[in-house]
Amino acid sequence: MVLKRNQAEDLLRHYFKLNHFYDEQWETIESLLKGQRILLIQRTGFGKSLCYQFPATLFDGTTVIFSPLIALMRDQVKQLKSLGISTECINSEQTKEENKAILKQAEQNRIKILYIAPERQESPEWLESVREIKLSMIVIDEAHCISVWGHDFRPAFRKIIDLVKLLPPNFPVLATTATATESAAQDIMQQMGGNVKYLRGNLLRENFRLNVVRVSSEDDKLAFLAQYIPKMEGTGIIYTGTRVNTEVYSNFLRCQGIDAINYNAGFNPETRRYIEEGLLNNRWKCVVATNALGMGIDKPDLRFIIHTQIPESPIHYYQEIGRGGRDGRGTPIILLYNPEDRELPEHFIENSRPPLKHYQRVIGELKNKSLGKWDLMRKTNLSRTRIEVIVADLIDQGLVKKFLDGRSKRYEYQFNAFPFDNRVFERLREFKLRELEKMIEYAEMDKCRMFYLCDYLEDKKADNCHKCDNCRGKKLNYTTTAYWQQRVSNFRNNYFPEIELVPESQQGKSLLERKSKLVNGVAFSYYGFSSVGSTIHRCKYESGDDFPDFLLKGALKAYQSYFKGKKFDLIIYVPSTESGDLVKNFAKKASAALKIPISHGLIKIRNTKPQKVFQNSILKRDNVKDAFSYTNPGEIAGKNILLIDDICDSKATIREIGSLMTKLGVNKIAPLVIAKTIGGDIISGKDVQLHSRKAAEETTKRKPFAEVRKSYPKAYEKWTKEDDELLVRGFRQGESIAELANYFQRKEGSIRSRLRKLMGTEIMVNVPQGSLKKDTYFEDEEQIYQALKKWRLQKAKESGLPAYCVLPNATLENITRAKPSSLCDLLDIKGLGEKTIKKFGEEIVEVISRLEK
C-alpha cells in the first residue's frame, strides 16, 4: 500500500480528529503498511495506539490486538467507537454469548479492530472463529510480557508468539511496550521470528524528582508516611511489597486522619474497578497498593509515588514510577529504603520457581494419565499457582501439551519429549539477582539517580538531572521521633484484622434471614506481623509450651475492640490435630478472663491432617469435610457461640464447624483467633515475606475460580443458593461445563440442567444442544452411517424409489456428522428440508438414538 504522509494526515484529520503524526508514529505506520514486523518501545502516553489504529482502518479485514488490560481495552473500544470505527473486544468480563456474537461479526468482516485478552486465545469459541476471520494485522500490546527476561512475563503470550512465527513473512505485526530493557527487547525480537524493525524512544520523564530516603525499620516508614503525606500536593500512590501491608499501611494512615484506601490483586473486579475510578477522581489522598495497581491507569496528574519496599529491579521500579506525573509537572518520586528490605525481593527470586521435585511430581502424574488442572491439584497436593507455573514451564519445554477434551482442558504428556531441563531457571535466577543488585545500587549510590536509570534503560541522556537528592547534594535519612513512635505503637497494639466470613450477597440480610449462622470474627494479629506467627509456631512444633500470655492478652483485646457490647453464651474451640491441648488451654484461659462458660463438646470424629500440609483449598476442604461432631447438641441450640482457634488460614475449618453449628441450631457463631494469614499459605516463621506480591499477582491475573468459591462459605455443603451464584459466575467467566462439573463434583448433565434452569435462554444460546453433543462422540461414525443406509434401503423398498431419492449419500454423511438428537437438530443439517424432516425426521432421530444406547 503506497500512501504519502500528507495523504495519510488528511485521513488522520478526518477519522481521528488529530492534525499530525509524530515522526516515530509515521515511521511505524509506513512500515506496517509495507507488511513489516516492528517492535516499538515508547514511553506510556507517547501515542503508541495510533500506530496500529490508523493502519487498521486502511486494511481490508480485521486487526487483532492482544492486550492484557481489560480496563484499557474498554476505554479504547469506547473511544474508537465514538470516532465511528467498528471496534469490539473479547474478554472474560463479557458473557460467552456476547463474545460469540462479536466473533460472528468479525467473521463477516464487520469489525475493523478487535481487542482480545491473550488468555482468551484458548477458548473454543476463539479457536473456532479465528480462521474464519480475515486477519489484516496482529498487534501485541504490552509486549514485554512475551519475555522471561522482562519484568512481567506471562505464559498466555506464548501462544501469540507461536502464531506470529508461523504467519507469512509479509504479514504486518506490531509489538509495543513502554517498558523493556535492551536484553528483553532483543529477546522479544528474536521470538517474533527475526527480521523485526526496532524503534526505540526515550523512556524517562524529565519531570521526576527522584529521592531515596533511608530508614531503619517498618515503624520509620509508617511514621514517615504519616508525617509527610499531608504535606504532599495532590493524589498519589504508595506501593507496598505485600498484600498484608496494603491493609496495614492504609489502616494506619486512616487512623492518622489521612484519607487512604488499600488495593491489591486479592480484591474482586468490582472493588478494583471502584478504586481505580476513585483514584482517577481523586477520591482519596492516596491509594496503598501492591504493584497490581497501575498497569492501565491513565491518570495524568498522579502527584507523588512512594515505595515502601525496594522493587526487584530498576525496570520494575521504572514501570511503577512511570505512572506518576504524566502531565509533565514536577513529581516527587520517593523510595523508602531499609537495607534489610532486600530480603523480600530475594525471597521472591529464590522462590519464583517451584523446586525440581514438584516438577517431577507433576510429570509423574501426567505420564500416567493426562489430567486437568483440578485433578492435578488433587493428585499432587500443590497449589493452583504452583501447578500453573509448572505446567506453563512444561508446555514451554514441549514436555506437555494442552488439549481440549470436549470443552475441558487437559494436559497431556508428550511421547518423545526431551527430559525436563531446569538449567534455564538457574540462569534466570542469576539474572534476576543481578538485576536486584542494580536496584540496590540505585538506592545506595551518590551520583545522579536519573542518569543511572537512563543509562540502565539505554535512553540517550548526557547530563545530570539537577533535581534528584544526590544532584541537590541532600542525603535523606529519616528516624522516627518519640511522638510518632508512640503513635505507631498505639496503632500496632490496637489494630486487629477482621476475619471475613459472610459473603457479599448475604451482608445486607439480618441474621434471621441468613442460612449460615457463621458471622465475621477477629484475629489478634496477622501471622506474619511482629513475632506472633513465630511464637505460635514455636509453641506448636518446638517447645510444646502453652501460648504465652501476650497472645492471650492480645486476643482478649481484639475481642473487646471488635465485638464491643456483643454478648456470647458459650466458648467452644477447635479440637487440635497436633498441638495437643494448646488451643484448649488457651480457650480455657480466655473463658475465665471473659467470664463466658466453655464447652468441650466439639470433637473430631475422624482424623484429619494438619491443614497446612495441604497446598490448595480443594484439599483443605476435603480434609475437614464432616470431620467434626458435637457431643451435646442440646446445650447450644439458640446460643451465641464464640469459636476459638490459633490460626485462621484457608478458613475451611471454621466454615466446616460453622455449618455444623448452623445445622445444630445455634443463633450465631463467630471466630476469635490468634493469627490470620493472608494469601493462604503458612511457611514457618518467616514473616510477611511469604505473602509475596508476586504470588498475589499470579493468583489473580484473572480472578481465579477457587478464590471466588472461597468467598462462599456454604458452598461446601449441599447445593445452595451460593452454589448457584457461583455456578453462573463461573460459567460466565468461561469455565467449561466439564470443568464446573469437576469442581462441584457433580455430573455434567446435572450442572448443565442446573445452568439451564438458572440462566434460561442465555444458556440455551451459549450451550446449544448441537455443540454439547460434540462432547460425546460416538465410538464409530461409520456405524451411524451404515445404520442410516440400512434404514434408507428399507424406505426405498417401501416406497419403490431408488435409495438416493429417499436421501442422497451426502445428506446421510451430514447427518452422521451432526448426530442429531432431536427434530430441532435436524433443521441445521444441510440437505434436509422441512418436508423431509416432517416425513422422516422422527425415524432418523430414532435410528441414531437407538445406536447411542
Q: Which residues bind other proteins (CB under 8 A)?
A: 127, 130-131, 135, 159, 162-163, 165-171, 193, 367, 369-370, 401-406, 412-416, 777-783, 785-786, 809, 813, 816-817
Sheet holding 640-648, edge to edge: 498-499, 521-526, 668-676, 640-648, 570-573
The interface region with ligand ADP, picked from 38-46, 282-290, 336-344, 788-796 by CB under 6 A, is 38-46
Told to check if 201 binds ligand ADP by CB under 6 A, we report no
Told to check if 47 binds ligand ADP by CB under 6 A, we report yes
The interface region with ligand ADP, picked from 47-55, 186-194, 316-324, 715-723 by CB under 6 A, is 47-55
Spatial CB neighbours of 172, under 8 Å, sequence gap ≥ 6: 32, 33, 34, 35, 36, 37, 55, 59, 136, 137, 138
The C-alpha cell that represents 261 in the structure block: 484506601
Of 313 and 370, nearer to other proteins (C-beta) is 370
Binding residue for ligand ADP (CB under 6 A) from 46, 527, 628, 743? 46
The C-alpha cell that represents 795 in the structure block: 424406505
Helix (H, G, I), strand (E, B) or coil at 402: strand
**257-260 long-range Cβ contacts below 8 angstroms, 24+ apart:** 258/225, 258/226, 258/229, 258/230, 258/285, 258/286, 259/284, 259/285, 259/286, 260/284, 260/285, 260/286, 260/287, 260/288
Told to check if 300 binds ligand ADP by CB under 6 A, we report no
The C-alpha cell that represents 723 in the structure block: 452454589
Binding residue for ligand ADP (CB under 6 A) from 8, 21, 319, 496? 21
Of 167 and 295, nearer to other proteins (C-beta) is 167
**Pairwise CA distance, residues 735 & 744, whole Å:** 12
User: What HEC string does 465-496 produce?
Assistant: CCCCCCCCCCCEECCCCHHHHHHHHHHHHHCC
Q: Please, what is the minimum distance in Å from the beta carbon of residue 750 to other proteins?
A: 22
Q: Please, what is the minimum distance in Å from the beta carbon of residue 133 to Mg ion?
A: 23
- 425-464 residues in contact with Zn ion (CB under 5 A) are 448, 450, 464
**Type of residue numbered 441:** E
Residue 124 contacts residue 774 (beta carbons within 8 Å): no
CA distance between the termini of the chain: 59
Binding residue for ligand ADP (CB under 6 A) from 5, 9, 27, 50? 50
Of 90 and 448, nearer to Zn ion (C-beta) is 448
Residue showing the smallest CB distance to ligand ADP in the complex: 47
Backbone angles phi, psi at 306, to 5 degrees: -120, 130
**Pairwise CA distance, residues 78 & 66, whole Å:** 17
Of 25 and 766, nearer to ligand ADP (C-beta) is 25
- Residue 402 contact partner, candidates other proteins, Zn ion, ligand ADP, none, CB within 5 to 8 A by sort of partner: other proteins
Strand-pair partners of 41? 177, 200
- Residue 42 contact partner, candidates Zn ion, ligand ADP, Mg ion, none, CB within 5 to 8 A by sort of partner: ligand ADP
- Residue 415 contact partner, candidates Zn ion, other proteins, Mg ion, none, CB within 5 to 8 A by sort of partner: other proteins
Q: How many CB atoms lie within 10 A of CB 687?
A: 20
The C-alpha cell that represents 183 in the structure block: 536484553
- Residue 448 contact partner, candidates Zn ion, ligand ADP, Mg ion, none, CB within 5 to 8 A by sort of partner: Zn ion
Of 48 and 272, nearer to Mg ion (C-beta) is 48
Q: Please, what is the minimum distance in Å from the beta carbon of residue 467 to Zn ion?
A: 6
Of 67 and 370, nearer to other proteins (C-beta) is 370
Of 111 and 465, nearer to Zn ion (C-beta) is 465
**Pairwise CA distance, residues 56 & 51, whole Å:** 9
Q: Which helix (H) or strand (E) holds 89?
A: strand 87-90
Told to check if 428 binds ligand ADP by CB under 6 A, we report no
Q: Please, what is the minimum distance in Å from the beta carbon of residue 478 to ligand ADP?
A: 34
Backbone angles phi, psi at 426, to 5 degrees: -65, -45
For residue 395, give Cα distances in angstroms to 389, 390, 773: 10, 9, 29
CA 338 from chain centre, in angstroms, equals 30
Q: Please, what is the minimum distance in Å from the beta carbon of residue 702 to ligand ADP?
A: 22
- Residue 22 contact partner, candidates other proteins, Mg ion, ligand ADP, none, CB within 5 to 8 A by sort of partner: ligand ADP
Of 65 and 818, nearer to ligand ADP (C-beta) is 65
Of 298 and 405, nearer to other proteins (C-beta) is 405
CA 483 from chain centre, in angstroms, equals 41
Of 295 and 502, nearer to ligand ADP (C-beta) is 295
- Residue 49 contact partner, candidates other proteins, ligand ADP, Zn ion, none, CB within 5 to 8 A by sort of partner: ligand ADP
Residue 604 contacts residue 572 (beta carbons within 8 Å): no
Told to check if 66 binds ligand ADP by CB under 6 A, we report no
- 39-68 residues in contact with Mg ion (CB under 5 A) are 48
**Type of residue numbered 398:** G
Residue 413 contacts residue 367 (beta carbons within 8 Å): yes
- Residue 403 contact partner, candidates ligand ADP, Zn ion, other proteins, none, CB within 5 to 8 A by sort of partner: other proteins
Told to check if 471 binds Zn ion by CB under 5 A, we report yes
- Residue 468 contact partner, candidates Mg ion, Zn ion, other proteins, none, CB within 5 to 8 A by sort of partner: Zn ion
Q: Please, what is the minimum distance in Å from the beta carbon of residue 46 to ligand ADP?
A: 4
**Pairwise CA distance, residues 670 & 517, whole Å:** 9
Number of residues engaging Mg ion in binding (CB under 5 A): 1
Q: Please, what is the minimum distance in Å from the beta carbon of residue 159 to other proteins?
A: 7
- Residue 784 contact partner, candidates Mg ion, Zn ion, ligand ADP, none, CB within 5 to 8 A by sort of partner: none
**Pairwise CA distance, residues 69 & 66, whole Å:** 9
Helix (H, G, I), strand (E, B) or coil at 502: coil
Q: Please, what is the minimum distance in Å from the beta carbon of residue 409 to other proteins?
A: 11
Spatial CB neighbours of 608, under 8 Å, sequence gap ≥ 6: 577, 623, 624, 627
Task: For strands 208-214 and 260-263, give the pairing.
Answer: unpaired
Spatial CB neighbours of 559, under 8 Å, sequence gap ≥ 6: 522, 590, 594, 642, 672
**Pairwise CA distance, residues 31 & 711, whole Å:** 50
The C-alpha cell that represents 12 in the structure block: 488522520
Told to check if 468 binds Zn ion by CB under 5 A, we report yes
- Residue 45 contact partner, candidates ligand ADP, Zn ion, Mg ion, none, CB within 5 to 8 A by sort of partner: ligand ADP
Binding residue for ligand ADP (CB under 6 A) from 5, 15, 22, 402? 22
Q: Which residues form the interface with Zn ion (CB under 5 A)?
A: 448, 450, 464-465, 468, 471
Q: Which residues form the interface with Mg ion (CB under 5 A)?
A: 48
Q: Which residues form the interface with ligand ADP (CB under 6 A)?
A: 18, 20-22, 25, 42, 44-50
